Amino acid sequence: MASKVILVTGASGLVGSAVQKVALEEHDVGDKWVFVSSKDANLESEAETMALFEKHKPTHVIHLAAMVGGLFRNLKFNLDFFRCNMKINDNVLHACFVHDVNKCVSCLSTCVFPDNITYPFDESNLHDGPPHDSNFGFAYAKRMLDVMNRAYNSQHKCTFTSVIPTNVYGPHDNFNLQDGHALPGLVHKGYLAKKENNPFVVWGTGSPRRQFIYSVDLARVIIWMLREYNEITPMIVSVGAEDEISIKEAAEMVVRAYDYKGKIVFDTSKSDGQFKKTASNELMRTYLPDFKFTPMEQAIQETVDWFVKNYDIARK
């Protein structure tokens, strides 16, 4: 009999696909993995969420499912981001409680931290002030996950915790030009610019700064947390503050991955969003001092190669 039954919500997405890949590499551990998407249950529905847990009886949960989007989708749908994510998170954590799940690791994001803050911020700053205006709906809903984790622990001794990744990218991302994040948007635009011999258009000034991490690296840390991390306190997963780069530098890496020789243009009519959200990875380094992040040039090349190979089926 399998020692753990690990249910992964949001398994068809960017992070969930990477968790599937890493879990496959560890097939000899003997756990039973159950990967689900919205096709298996709409987690906004309490009844469907309960039925899903009843069916699979998980002992452990990696909760990734969420309404997700880049800056421009957030600007348009703050209310939807708030309501959808509040419902999903309340249903999933309540189902974990009712079904005696031993541990649940959920996912926050560094874009939910206060906007007006001293950098680099750390886990203790999560609730210190209002988030950036552009994504306050998403941010407050995600912050409530941490509130619920603490409340389930104080009232019922549950081990529900969370991971806080910086900007993630990789295969199976949402490459939609309007809704997606910066990196997949740039990968898609680089593809079109090269194919159509057009200028490569970067939105905004290119000066905002981000800490990018590869989805496969994040998946390794999340699986480690599921097995080894027993605190309720969330843990930021990021490259160091010194590895933060500008959107312009990220765009140049995409250009190199395509060997694109055309013009790069900055459309400054588009919003820059938050200038930076530099996060400290000190807590993660106390647990995982030797963890090696995939070099960004290599990870972008792998992402570009995946996108080119899977252009017809990629989310775009």
Residue 253 CA to residue 33 CA, distance in Å, equals 35
Order of strands across the sheet that contains 32-35:
32-35, 5-9, 60-63, 103-107, 160-165, 235-237
Binding residue (CB under 6 A) for ligand GDP from 200, 203, 212, 214: 203
Q: Considering the rule CB under 6 A, would residue 247 count as an interface residue with ligand GDP?
A: yes
- Whose structure tokens read 């941010």? 139
Asked whether 58 and 101 are in contact (CB, 8 A), the reply is yes
Q: Considering the rule CB under 6 A, would residue 208 count as an interface residue with ligand GDP?
A: yes
Count of positions on this chain that bind ligand GDP (CB under 6 A): 22
Q: Which does 170 bind (CB under 5 to 8 A by kind): ligand GDP, ligand NAP, none?
A: none
Asked whether 254 and 190 are in contact (CB, 8 A), the reply is yes
Binding residue (CB under 6 A) for ligand GDP from 4, 56, 94, 270: 270
Q: Considering the rule CB under 6 A, would residue 236 count as an interface residue with ligand GDP?
A: no
Residue 294: Cβ within 10 Å count: 17
Binding residue (CB under 6 A) for ligand GDP from 12, 89, 162, 274: 274
Interface positions with ligand NAP (CB under 6 A): 10-16, 37-39, 42-44, 64-68, 88, 107, 109, 165, 167-168, 174, 181
Q: Retrieve residue 166's tokens.
A: 């910086």
Residue 180 CA to residue 165 CA, distance in Å, equals 16
Selected range binding ligand GDP among 49-57, 98-106, 150-158, 267-275, rule: CB under 6 A? 267-275
Asked whether 219 and 22 are in contact (CB, 8 A), the reply is yes
Q: Which does 270 bind (CB under 5 to 8 A by kind): ligand GDP, ligand NAP, none?
A: ligand GDP
Q: Retrieve residue 27's tokens.
A: 């097939």
Q: How far is the CB of 37 from ligand GDP (least distance, A)?
A: 22
Write out the residues near ligand GDP by the rule CB under 6 A.
Answer: 70-72, 111, 167, 180-182, 185-186, 189, 202-204, 208, 210, 247, 270-274
